[in-house]
Amino acid sequence: MFEETQRFLRSLDGGGQVPVLIEDDEEGYFDRECPSDECLFQFKMLSEDWHKAKEAERLHCPACGHTDHSDRWWTQQQVEHMHAAAVAQIQGGLNRALKTDAARFNRSRPRGGFISMTMKVDSRPQHVMLPPAATDPMALKITCPSCACRYAVIGAAYFCPACGHSAAEQVFEQTIAGIKATLKALDQVRAAMPDRDTAETTVRVVIENGLQNAVTAFQRVVEALFVELPAPPKTRRNAFQNLAEGSTLWQQTTGKGYDAHLDAPSLDQLARAFQQRHLLAHRQGLVDEEYIAKSGDTRYRPGQRLVLRAEGVTEAVELVERLVAGLRDDASIARSRQGPSP
């Protein structure tokens, strides 16, 4: 009795494998997620390039540059899906085994006796787990200039997941253009969501992410320009997230500060945007005394939450563009003065 059930249970001994399908999206991209707990950045790789890259066993996060083994880049949604699908397959196998044993037991019972006993296995309808839904088309598709790996991100990302190549300068314009396009599409976002509260929450997140991505884009591209300058001094980590500190470093190395490219009101406006990004990243947007002191933004009291408008973020993005254009000119002049390497 219960031979089929026992056979099924023995097959699970030793941790047998249960195949679970994770599909590409409609464009052939495969969802990935940075395994660093401090990042968890999600991106996509073209499936063809993913299978090539994983043979090297090491992948790189496009956002933070974290490097890890290729089997650790599953998204949280994929892990949940695989767990649920595996449990469903095991439950289905056990259910079939029990049904087989029950039918065999019933056939062996004598008919017409005073006592009749049968066995029934109650099986509720099983839910078929679909693969995780593909996310909306990524705003930015990138081909690595070094290894030709094709990947896609939302927001700012500056490292090739396959080879780790930093493409900050190449990606900067695309990132800024993507932020601008997203901010222009906010009315479409609102219209696509019937629930007004959900729509407004989504719009707020998009606006705040736009500012954070613009500051990150600025930081990455200026870091890339700075290390190519003649004899650049050593800097602390994230020095170029601070406009005043970054301007001083740039002045020391090229002879020009940020004020050579933006007037004082524009620099003040951009500095306030950088401080707002700091609040969003580290205080969930809650204003404190330090923010008011550093930004000069007296519209808020400590404990209030920032309220950003798309127009304000768009202006900050345009100031970032103007400043980076000037810094590129500075860098080009500094390199030309150095002349060719001996």
Task: In whole angstroms, give the CA distance from residue 165 to residue 85.
Answer: 36
> Could you tell me where the beta strands, DSSP code E, fall in 123-277?
140-143, 150-153
CA 59 to each of CA 33, 44, 82, 306: distance values in angstroms, whole numbers, following the listed order: 11, 13, 21, 36
Q: How many CB atoms lie within 10 A of CB 15?
A: 6
Confidence of residue 1 (pLDDT cuts 50, 70, 90): low
pLDDT digits (tens, 9 = 90+) for 303-321: 999 999 999 999 999 999 9
Between strands 150-153 and 42-46, the pairing is antiparallel
Torsion of CA 48, 49, 50, 52, to 10 degrees: 100
Q: Looking at the whole model, is its pTM more than 0.75?
A: no
- Amino acid identity for residue 233 in this structure: P
Helix 243-254 / helix 196-227 crossing angle, nearest 10 deg: 20
Task: In whole angstroms, give the CA distance from residue 8 to residue 2.
Answer: 10
pLDDT digits (tens, 9 = 90+) for 46-65: 988 988 888 777 899 988 88
pLDDT digits (tens, 9 = 90+) for 101-120: 666 655 565 555 444 444 44
Query: b/e string for 246-273 if b means 16 or more Cβ within 10 A?
Result: bbebbeebbebbbebbbeeebbebbbbb
Q: Retrieve residue 253's tokens.
A: 């190395």
Sign for the CA dihedral angle at 226, 138, 47, 31 comes to positive
pLDDT digits (tens, 9 = 90+) for 259-282: 999 999 999 999 999 999 999 989
